[in-house]
Structures are given as structure tokens and as C-alpha cells.
Structure 1
């Protein structure tokens, strides 16, 4: 594109907002015009995130002060439940990429049941497209509003959706054991996220009732062509970023772990951001840190008729901000990897 893509970021003071800024710094077509953060309005971005001091960025403003009509794309990096009312007021021609859960669930009654309040923009929900790029690319390319998946669903759906679509695993026996770094909980002052509370330990949360479960079930049911329920348990790991999802599956018919690896390999062979590892290689969060990459490994279980599928992503990149930029590229008919060619950081 000859003219820069004029971008606004709502919720720029959160971790996903800052990650959007960091990644967009390497996007040759992007120009950040608006950054909102109501509690820090009036401050420069580097006052909130000193590591961004070298970037030429607009000062933070309230979302009410933002001129959305002067933008091409708005990224919403706000807490769950706060994007809907704002998106409903945006100009009709503005491309919107929402990183929250506000538009992920297609059924507004399901949203109300899991998030405790009625959907505030049901008319926009009808237009929203689920934004797991690798599995919904065509629809994203025609969308005006994209709902980026949660970080846990991103990893789990990349690992499982092709297998259900191919009939390689049984849809009635899916166990998802997931672990994420503390940035997945957002940048808020909470006792349970203090260093002394999180460090040197690991604990599950949202056991049997985590809000990402219905999102996974919505998309896995589409892949299977039948109603799917999952056993999903997330855990908090004392690291800043990264996510590892271990999926225990029952093989269908005479399928083997080798068949699982073959199906995933064929599905993602041409994908720039998904690596299906060779037999015996283990995915690790350190191998995708800071990048938009996902790694998937497949292992035969010691229990007959079962396999283990492991996926690793960076929860702030492929699990959130990186995927959001990937979706923007598709929405604007840019090369999908534009601005996302960063290699993982190691160590």
C-alpha cells in the first residue's frame, strides 16, 4: 500500500497493547496515530512502557477523545466486557480487530451465561468473524470486525481442529491440560499475581469453569460437525510469557499417532507460522518466545488407542497481538507475514 495504514489502539497501557506497539514498529505499512488509555491519558507511551522510548508515538488519550474517522484499523486491547459498547459507536467503514472475548462467542445468550451480563452490541456480533487465521482465512479477508481467539483456544484449536475435521480422533474424549505465563492475566494489581504469590509454584485456576472452554467447544464443534465438549484445565506458571497446551486424545478407528502427525503436517505445510515437529521433537515455549510461531508435536500414548498432541505459543504474540496483526494483514490483502517476521528470542 502506498499510503500508511492509520492505526489506533484502545487499551494501549495493557500488555497486549504494548505488544501491538512493539510488533507494529516493524510493520513497514503501519503508522500508529492513536493510543488510548483512560487512566494514563495525557502521558507519553514511554512513561508507561519505558522500553518503547525510542519510538515516535502519539501521547495517550481517552477513548472518548479519539478520532476514529481518521483511522483505517482499530485494535481493541481492552479488558473483557468493555469493547462492545465502544465498537458499537465506531464508524461503519473502520476495520476493527478485537483482542478481548467480547465478540468471540457467536451466540449472545452463551456470552451472557459465561460473562454474567447481556451482550451490549448484538448487531455487531452478527458481523463478527472468528479470527484464528489459519482456520478461517477466507472469512477474515472479507470481515470488518474480527474477534481474535483467546490464547488457550489458539493453541488448542491449532492442535485439534484439523484432527476432528479429518476424523482422526474421537470428538467425545478430549482432555486439554494448559499452562500459561502470568501476562495472560493482564496488567492489573491483583494479590494472586504478586511475585510472592506466583513465584516458585504452579497452580490450576478456573477448574471446570474457565471461560475459554465454550469458545473451544464452539470451534471444535464446527470442525467435527457435531457437538463437542472438552475437559479443559488451565494452570498459571511463574514466567512472564509463553503457553504450553497438552491435549490427550483417543484415536478414531485404526488411526495411529503417525496418522495424527501426518494430518497436521499436511494441514499446516504451507502455513508460515505453524511448525509441526518431526517425530520425537518436543514443543517448548522457549522456542517460540517473542514470535508469532506455533509449534506442534505428536506422541503416542503408552495407553493403547491414545495419543498426546502438544502445542506451544507465545501467549502475547501468536496468542494475542501477533495474531491480531496477522488478521489485519489478511483483512487488508497484505502479505500475511508483513511485520511479523521476527524470529523467536533465545535464551
Structure 2
């Protein structure tokens, strides 16, 4: 659709079309560049605390089991929360001051490293990689329903949960998070939106270059009076740009607001532990503003293209309104 649009613009303006390269983008950084190491408590302290009969004994026992040593990030987050909660409950049952002091230090240590466990259970998992893959084409034209509806609901719910956890409220249930991860693994919408942003930036830029070439060259109309060619140009403007291209622009921008923006918030609220590799990727693919942002570049391409059309048609007294 976008290639044909550039060709149609060139044809009605009696110019030769030129197609630019798509702006660069990349998949998520490799998992090893996203996953963070969670500092472990000293085994001596864990063994010491596990001697006491409160719930913490069983939590530590599970972590030290064979399965506990290979916990997936979501289960590791659950463990960290359970350690803090059961440890605080255990404090009232401990009478020895030295043991109490050791447990308080352990709980504080777990609270300090909890943001790392949260990061690993959101941005450090393998399941998020298919969501951002660039290998599944572009976002669909005129899709039935809303392809990002469930993903958007997931992202906003996850944002609320992460915000509460980071604020020290450990009560939110994590039962829904596994289903979110499964949906991320099955959907590719974020990567498709990135691909569409790249395509639109390039092809709108190609169209703008053609419009400016005609504006700066032979006038479309003399003395501001419409003619046969300007009528053809105006007809193409409405039948192709207004009826086909603009609705797709609106679809992509709406999906960006619904899905990319919540994912950006999910990353931004975890900036304190974000890896440098991920930070560079985020500035390109998630951020709505900034010189590196694809989404800011798309907004600029749309604005430039709109102005070029207005300027060209104004030569004939046919200026469209934004």
C-alpha cells in the first residue's frame, strides 16, 4: 500500500519515484544482556534461619531444593516476596536478639534486591522476545477488532502490579502474570508496530520529497487557479491518502498508544536497575520523544507530509485542513 502510494504521488506529479531505506531497528537485546544477577544471602545465614520453625524455614527449604536452584524468573520473584513476608511474620517468634538482628538484615537485603527480581520477571524473560520480534511483518491494515486489546490490558495490569511492588506493597497477586507471558510468546504485535513505524517514516518521507520537488519546481497551478492536473492530484489525495493511508496511520498510532506506551512505562519505572544495553534499545523502540525515538520520527514524518500536501494544494486554492 505504501509503495503504491509513493508511485501514485510520483505519477500525478509527473515525477520519478524513489524509495529510501527503512530506518534501522533491532530486536530486544539478548537475554544475557537483559537478565540481572540477584545477590544471594550467605548460605550460613540461610542455614541458621532455617533452623527456626516458622514459615520461613519452608521457604528457604524450597529455595535450597534441586528445583529451587533453577527457578524461572517469575517463580524467583514469588520466592523473594515470600521470603520477605514470611521473614517479617517470623520476627515475632524469635526471642534471641542476634537471630532477630540477622533476620532483619536478611529481610532488608531482600527488599533492596526485589527490584532486580521484578525486572527479571518482566524484561528478563524469554517469553517477551517474540512480542518484539521484527521477523513477523507489519501491523495489519484494517484489522478486525483490536489486535492489541488483550496485550494492552495485560500491560496496564502489570504496570499497576509492578508499581505496587516497587512501592513496598507486596500484596498483589502474581497469578495472572504467567498468562501474560504466554500471550507475549504467542503475539508479535509490538515488533509489527515497530516495523510499520519504520515503513511509514520511510514512505511518507519519500512522498514528502516528491511533493517538495514539485513545490520547488514547476507550479501545479498558475495564478492559484485549478486545472485538469490539479483536479487529478486532488482526487488522488482524497482517494488514496485520505481514504487509505491516513486510516492506517491512525490505526498504528492508536496501537502505539495502547501497547507501546504502557510497555514504555513498564520499563521506565524500572530505570534504577535497567541495563545499559536495554536503555539504548528503549530510547529507540519505546520512547515517544527524543532524537533516537522511532515514534518521534514518525510524528515528524506525518507532520512534514501534511504540510507538504497543504503547500502544494494551496497553489491551486485547494489547501486541505489538518
TM-score, normalised via structure 1 length: 0.22
**Structure ranking higher in helix proportion:** 2
Structure ranking higher on relative contact order (CA contacts 8 Å, 6+ apart): 2
More strand by share: 1
Q: TM-score, normalised by structure 2?
A: 0.23
Q: Which has the larger radius of gyration?
A: 2
